[in-house]
Amino acid sequence: MSPNDGRERFETVVAPYLADAHAYARWLIRNRADAEDVVQEACVRAFRAIDQFSGSNGRAWLLTIVRNTAFTWLKEKRAEALVSMDGLNESERLAVERGALLESSTSPEGEMIAAADADELERHIAALPTEFREVLVLRDMRGLDYREIARITGAPIGTVMSRLARARSMLRTAWLATEGQPI
Amino acid sequence: MTCNEAEILLHAFLDGELDAGHAREIEGHVATCPRCAAALRVYGELRAAMSRSDLRYVAPDSLRARINGMFPAATPRASNRWTLFNSFMLGSALSATAAASLMFAVVRSDQDQMIAGELVSAHLRSLQAERLIDVHTSDQHTVRPWFNGKVDIAPPVVDLAAQGFTLVGGRLDFIDGRAVAAIVYRRGGHVINLFVTQGSSFGRGSTLKTMHGFNVKLWSEQGLYFGAISDINADELQEFEEKFEAATR
């Protein structure tokens, strides 16, 4: 493969998804400059491996590389940033359960969410444990489907579903708590 | 269905990831359970707030420049038109993700289904304003050469106006991460997109599927793979394939 071929493959397979890669890295790393470094490093890895890409889903492929790069980076730079899947503490667990019990048929909370201040929402999403945050970002902000998310995160589809359910439930609870609404 | 089951599944329902059977069960449950109905509505609103909020982190131009700068300059084989088209595709690929995400049920996994889903997405995308046609002509001798250098095949292009399917133009599209030729026909008020590629991901053999109300016909002929999609009925789409094959033979 000539360098030009590799470059052209990169342009078709990887380049269209830089925006996804950047947003994903940004939400995983939570720091702008570091996230950009991670995307660049992921692009270097993608370029080196481009002839191994068999051509079914460039976006999922790139995001898998971004994830690996980001997690390697996190492990090296700040080991404490990774929260394990079952690492919810008691109060978080209770918050999830209380959120699930919430009843509201007239949905004033819906209107409140609709008026949500983006900064507030961002803060709540950033506060989610990594495993929950990433499925939320991939699904609700980047629009990937469950199979793609399962492939990228290396988790079964059932796990993707339950993480997404928990992520949204936690987000909803956190949002209501800041607003001082009765839960 | 119990509330406990619904609690997880309503997310998949909201995301368009449930197969029809489970989706009906959720609809049934929500119709009789105010609590789950409220939850579904709130999650829908929360998701809408997330997509409205400026949380998507736009990739800065400086990052693109850095990444472009990593490579030795490539010999410019691509025309400006192509470059423009690529940037355009980036935008439309993002906006199409919402449509694409509707296509998959949790339990489905076969390749045909995946391709059919991609075709439905591409079809929906093409029906959005000004996305349908790049080269606008009913002249088959204009459409075919237009694809030169844009896709790695010379797709057969025939006008089937006499057979009831009018050629209206061609377009470059992407299916399964790969550039494919899209030839656009009309039958009455209906649009038919015919995707042509040599990528074997379309699968061999001839299949007809219905997905989200669209009929999708896949077939292969002489090393090329075809996927026709439209909202015309299955018989008419079958007829389209026969007329197309007869005219190109």
Exposed/middle/buried for residue A54 (C-beta within 10 Å: 0-12, 13-18, 19+): exposed
Please report the pLDDT score of residue A82 as a whole number: 45
- Dihedral sign for Cα atoms in the order B215, B147, B125, B201: positive
Chain A contact set for B42 (CB, 8 A): 104, 107, 109-110, 113, 172
Torsion angle (degrees, nearest 10) of CA B154, B117, B173, A135:
-140
For the segment A1-23, the average pLDDT, to the nearest whole number, is: 80
Q: Which residue stretches of B53-79 are H helix?
A: 61-68
Question: Could you tell me the two tokens for B224?
Answer: 């090329």
**pLDDT for residue A75 is more than 60:** yes
Q: Which of B8, B10, B50 to mutate to test the interface with A (most CBs of A within 10 A)?
A: B50
Where is average pLDDT lowest: A1-15, A71-85, B217-231? A71-85
**Portion 163-182 of A in contact with B at CB < 8 A:** 164-165, 168, 171-172, 175
**pLDDT for residue B120 is more than 50:** yes
A182 pLDDT tier (thresholds 50, 70, 90): very low
Mode of pairing for the β-strands spanning B178-187 and B166-175: antiparallel
B103 pLDDT tier (thresholds 50, 70, 90): very low
8 A C-beta contact, residue A171 and residue B50: no
Question: Could you tell me the two tokens for B210?
Answer: 């219905």
8 Å CB contact of A168 and B179: no
DSSP A138: I
What's the rounded Cα separation, in Å, for the pair A163 and B31? 25
**pLDDT for residue B182 is more than 80:** yes
Chain B contact set for A27 (CB, 8 A): 57
| Cα A171 from chain centre | 14
Please report the pLDDT score of residue A86 as a whole number: 44
**pLDDT for residue B7 is more than 50:** yes
For the segment B181-206, the average pLDDT, to the nearest whole number, is: 83
Q: Tell me, yes or no, if A123 comes closer than 8 A to chain B by beta carbon.
A: no
A23 to chain B: closest CA residue: B57
8 Å CB contact of B97 and A164: no
Please report the pLDDT score of residue B81 as a whole number: 44
Percent of chain B with pLDDT over 90: 12
8 A C-beta contact, residue A125 and residue A137: yes
For the segment B32-44, the average pLDDT, to the nearest whole number, is: 90
Question: Could you tell me the two tokens for A74?
Answer: 């996190």
What's the rounded Cα separation, in Å, for the pair B157 and B167? 9
> pLDDT tens digits, residue range B85-95?
444 444 444 44
In the sheet where B224-230 sits, what is the strand order? B135-136, B166-175, B178-187, B190-197, B224-230, B214-221, B207-211
Closest CA–CA distance from residue A25 to any residue of chain B (Å): 10
C-alpha pair distances (Å), B159 with each of A88, B89, B131, B142, B229: 62, 27, 21, 11, 17
8 A C-beta contact, residue A128 and residue A99: no
8 Å CB contact of A103 and B74: no
Please report the pLDDT score of residue A46 as a whole number: 92
Which has more confidence, B53 or B81? B53
Please report the pLDDT score of residue A108 as a whole number: 52
A148 to chain B: closest CA residue: B101
A68 pLDDT tier (thresholds 50, 70, 90): very high
Chain A contact set for B78 (CB, 8 A): 8
This prediction's pTM: 0.53
Which has more confidence, A84 or B209? B209
Give kind and range of the element (H or E) at residue A158. helix A157-178
Please report the pLDDT score of residue B99 as a whole number: 38
8 Å CB contact of B55 and A141: yes
Chain A contact set for B43 (CB, 8 A): 168, 172
Closest CA–CA distance from residue B31 to any residue of chain A (Å): 12
**pLDDT for residue A94 is more than 80:** no
A126 to chain B: closest CA residue: B55
ipTM score above 0.90 = no
Please report the pLDDT score of residue B85 as a whole number: 45
Exposed/middle/buried for residue B65 (C-beta within 10 Å: 0-12, 13-18, 19+): exposed
Length of chain A counted residue by residue: 183
What is chain B's mean pLDDT, rounded? 77
**pLDDT for residue B204 is more than 70:** no
Please report the pLDDT score of residue B181 as a whole number: 92
Please report the pLDDT score of residue B52 as a whole number: 67
